[in-house]
Chains A and B, each alone.
Chain A
Amino acid sequence: MAKTIVVTSGKGGVGKTTTSASISTGLALRGYKTVVIDFDVGLRNLDLIMGCERRVVFDFVNVINEEVSLHQALIKDKSCDNLFILAASQTKDKESLNKEGVAKVINELSKMFDYIICDSPAGIEQGAYLALYFADEAIVVTNPEVSSVRDSDRILGIIASKSKRAEEGLEKTKTHLLITRYNPERVKLGEMLSIKDVEDILRIPLLGVILESPDVLQASNTGIPVINQKNSKASECYKDAISRLLGEEKPYRYIEVEKKGILNKIFGGSR
């Protein structure tokens, strides 16, 4: 039986798809058979971030409508044998996802995989609701910024009350806080909410802190998930988060402002 994990946030553009791509790749690299599903029907993007956009023939909605088999729609990742992608439909509208259909697909996938990662769309409509409904665990992606924190709180309320686990009175969905686009310099200047501020407000366990980094744009340009970028702090941050997700203890790196060396100070070294 697979573990189903939703990557969610409420607010748009905070890094869900970036995170889904890196978390699924990271789990697959650790040897777990993993599938990542794009729930953003009508606005698919995960295929681009995973670099498989030209190999999408059939999608999630085709499978739900029983037009094709799951095997026909699953796309094998180009660099990782353990990893598969189920793309969102680009043409159909959001209402084409329904609870029974999604349940059936997740059930079938859970016999084949160790992890099912659900990349949620923004908002709290049908797509976002169904992405979190079946989840055993939730990664709540939050930027250190007021509207993102507020929306995360709202999503946590929905997980706690409207998910399958809540409705059926099962063990609660395990929630994880992932702070993304974190900038230690701005936190030090008092311009940005700190890790502790966000933790104090949302009160769920911290899974990781991903730095604001130009590597993420670079990764999406090339269609290689940022976790696979060499010499990238953002990549290391995601690797640490994977370790914690698997129950390992990892110290937090890069979250303090780096002390600049004397030469750096004089010449104002870049990143």
Chain B
Amino acid sequence: MSFFDKFLNKKKPPATIAKERLQIILAHERVSLAPNYNSSKPNWIDLMKDDLMEVIAKYTKIGKEDLKINIEKRDNLDLLEINITLPEHHDGEE
């Protein structure tokens, strides 16, 4: 919201609110409903996992099972949790 919008106390147009709400709920539903739909088509969590693996691989070696991603709904917010288990003798801090 721009300074002037605030100044004039202008509310967001209803269509903008509708679009934002849809984008949030559909991002969530595409993930939560996707596995039942289609296991062959990767959802964005899988895609992000691949990207993260690539970045982590630059610094240390981990297996795919060491990276866990979880989405949780809490009241009115979505929590994205990323858990990385480092190997016992990781060579990250050189």
Q: Which residues of A contact B (CB under 8 A)?
A: 145-146, 149-150, 153-154, 157-158, 160-162, 166, 169, 187, 189-194, 197, 200-201
- Please state if A146 and B38 are interface contacts (CB–CB under 8 Å): no
Nearest CB in chain A: distance from B25 CB, A: 7
Q: How far, in whole Å, are A158 and B13 apart by their CA atoms in the complex?
A: 32
CB<8 Å pairs between A and B, sample of 9: A146-B18, A146-B21, A150-B29, A153-B29, A157-B33, A157-B34, A157-B37, A191-B14, A197-B19
Q: How far, in whole Å, are A149 and B14 apart by their CA atoms in the complex?
A: 15
B9 within 8 A of A: no
Which residues of chain A come closer than 8 Å to B40, judged between CB atoms?
169
Apart from A150-B29, A154-B33, A197-B19, what are 6 other A-B pairs with CB-CB below 8 Å? A146-B22, A157-B33, A157-B37, A194-B15, A197-B15, A200-B19
- Please state if A150 and B25 are interface contacts (CB–CB under 8 Å): yes
Q: Which of B15, B16, B26, B41 has the most CB of A within 10 A?
A: B15
Q: Which residues of B contact A (CB under 8 A)?
A: 13-16, 18-19, 21-23, 25-26, 29-30, 33-34, 37-38, 40-41
- Please state if A150 and B22 are interface contacts (CB–CB under 8 Å): yes
Contact of A193 among B19, B29, B30, B33 (CB under 8 A): B19
Contact of B38 among A145, A166, A189, A193 (CB under 8 A): A166
Which chain A residue lies CB-closest to B21? Answer: A146
Nearest CB in chain B: distance from A171 CB, A: 14
Q: How far, in whole Å, are A149 and B26 apart by their CA atoms in the complex?
A: 10
Q: In the A-B complex, list the 5 residue pairs whose CB atoms are closest, starting with the nearest.
A: A190-B13, A161-B38, A161-B37, A197-B19, A157-B37
- Please state if B15 and A162 are interface contacts (CB–CB under 8 Å): no
- Please state if B41 and A161 are interface contacts (CB–CB under 8 Å): yes
Contact of A191 among B15, B22, B34 (CB under 8 A): B15
Which residues of chain A come closer than 8 Å to B23, judged between CB atoms?
201
Nearest CB in chain B: distance from A117 CB, A: 25
Q: How far, in whole Å, are A168 and B19 apart by their CA atoms in the complex?
A: 35
Q: Which of B18, B25, B38, B40 has the most CB of A within 10 A?
A: B18
